[in-house]
Amino acid sequence: MPVDDTLSNPIDQNVQQSGKFGVNVGQGQGIHIGDVYQQIDPETIKQIVREELRLPQKEYGNSVGRGLAALAELMHHSEARSAVITFGADFRAACEQIDVIANYKELHDLLHTLEFQCYSGIIQEAKRFSDPEDETALEILMEHELTLQGISRAVKNVAGRETIATSELLWIKRLDHAQEELHAAIETLDTRRLQRTIWLLNRILAIQPSRINTNLNAAAKALRLPALVNAMQAIWNSLVEANLDQEKIQQFQTGVAVLAELNQRLTALVFGHDCWQEFDLELRRIEINLDKDLIELEMSWPDLKERTEALFDPTADQWTLAFQQDSQNLDAALRANNPAKIKRYFRMYRRRASERFYQVDVTLRRLCEELREVGEPLASVLRMIE
């Protein structure tokens, strides 16, 4: 369920579920990871997602880092040091979770790369691989083999950071197996081993992105950035009247404000990413069966149509207008019972949805990297009181 100009009712329902992390949006309020509320303004979440997708990228990590560096300098004074010690547990908890979140997001990005820069291409070339006269297909598959090797190395690099449980990374063996099968298929021109490669990669992509996304949500929930923001605000309150360097205090206050904004943006993007992940999985399920029969799509379309039709905004961006047209074309093809057009327009609809999911994915990755930049200066402050 994309959080975007295109969807409304499903978001209203999901945001209000207390089983997932919730948000607090209202007059004069922020939205906070880890806090659960029943009354939500989903329009605010969608607005934040749209802003992050469309506006020039804003840096958060550097401003927060400068604020924490200023606090570290102020801690040479007993007033500042005592204030930080009081909230040491909040600093410690945030520090432990920041890398976990960033690493989960990096794994999810690698799987996205696997799908769009490797798996999709392998499927395309598999159609021509059986032709011994077509050397182009073989050369392209060799390029995909190199891409797969690079992805495998990057995944193992993340796994080696020991912030993610080994039990959550057992699928890496399947990735290695797929790499071996692809190499053997290329060396022996064996179409059966190429199909085995596709099957292994599809198994990974059908299961792991959703699992990692669930773990990303859980890590975001455990982060509880609001507690860190509140702790830093309380520290600032205790220092503002002290006879200390007011320029450093002001710099610290700016860092607190920017961290609060990062918390708000990150929360909205995590929720938006979660909705897009669920939507993408449903489209993937339909796509797998599309060439066999159209029943899955026909049965699922009323729900998909309701999701994607409810909020077409005439002032929306070009993507929204194009996606609206894709939805209308697919709906007309289904009503006309035209199998060729149904397949064609569904693939266009699916591709357009994937483009926006990718944009949300990249934007969330950027915010996670901004969050990661907060980690080291936060750890430096923590080391000063331990």
pLDDT of amino acid 158: 93
Closest CA to 115 of 93, 144, 146: 144
Helices then strands, each counted (H, E), the chain? 14, 0
* Cβ-based neighbours of 64, under 8 Å, separated by 6 or more: 255, 258, 259, 262, 373, 374, 377
Tell me the C-alpha to C-alpha distance, in Å, between residue 220 and each of 33, 97, 102.
6, 8, 10
Per mean pLDDT, which of 278-282, 306-310, 322-326, 342-346 is the most reliable?
342-346
pLDDT of amino acid 148: 98
Q: What is the DSSP letter of 133?
A: T
Say what percent of the chain tops pLDDT 70: 87
Alpha-carbon distance 84 to 88, whole Å? 6
Domain of residue 52, residue span: 9-383
* Cβ-based neighbours of 207, under 8 Å, separated by 6 or more: 171
Mean pLDDT on 303-324: 74
| 3 part of a folded domain | no
Which range (3-12, 23-32, 336-345, 359-368) has the least confidence? 23-32
| 4 part of a folded domain | no
Name the residue type at position 13.
Answer: Q
pLDDT of amino acid 177: 97
| CB-side neighbour CA atoms (13 Å) of 192 | 0
- Measured in whole angstroms, how far is the alpha carbon of residue 363 from the centre of its chain? 8
* Cβ-based neighbours of 234, under 8 Å, separated by 6 or more: 83, 86, 87
Radius of gyration of the chain (CA): 24
- Measured in whole angstroms, how far is the alpha carbon of residue 315 from the centre of its chain? 26
| 344 part of a folded domain | yes
| 227 part of a folded domain | yes
Query: Is residue 213 a contact partner of residue 108, using CB atoms and an 8 Å limit?
Result: yes
SS3 of 244, please? coil
Q: What is the DSSP letter of 18?
A: T
Query: Is the model's pLDDT at 182 over the cut of 90?
Result: yes
Closest CA to 378 of 24, 93, 173: 93
SS3 of 243, please? coil
Alpha-carbon distance 330 to 300, whole Å? 13
Alpha-carbon distance 209 to 155, whole Å? 13
DSSP element (H, E) containing 122: helix 120-129
Reported as a single tens digit per residue, the pLDDT across 189-239 is 999 999 999 999 999 999 999 899 888 888 887 777 888 999 999 999 988
Domains in the chain, number: 1
Query: Is residue 122 a contact partner of residue 140, using CB atoms and an 8 Å limit?
Result: no
Task: Kindly report the number of other CB atoms within 10 A of residue 54's CB atom.
Answer: 11
pLDDT confidence bin for 310, thresholds 50/70/90: low
Name the residue type at position 375.
Answer: G
Q: What is the DSSP letter of 89?
A: H
* Cβ-based neighbours of 74, under 8 Å, separated by 6 or more: 80, 239, 244, 245, 248, 249, 252
| 36 part of a folded domain | yes
Average pLDDT along the chain: 84
Task: Name the token pair of 282.
Answer: 């449903």
| 1 part of a folded domain | no
pLDDT confidence bin for 309, thresholds 50/70/90: low
pLDDT confidence bin for 144, thresholds 50/70/90: very high
pTM, 2 dp: 0.74
Supply φ then ψ for residue 60, to 5 degrees: -115, -45
Query: Is residue 323 a contact partner of residue 356, using CB atoms and an 8 Å limit?
Result: yes
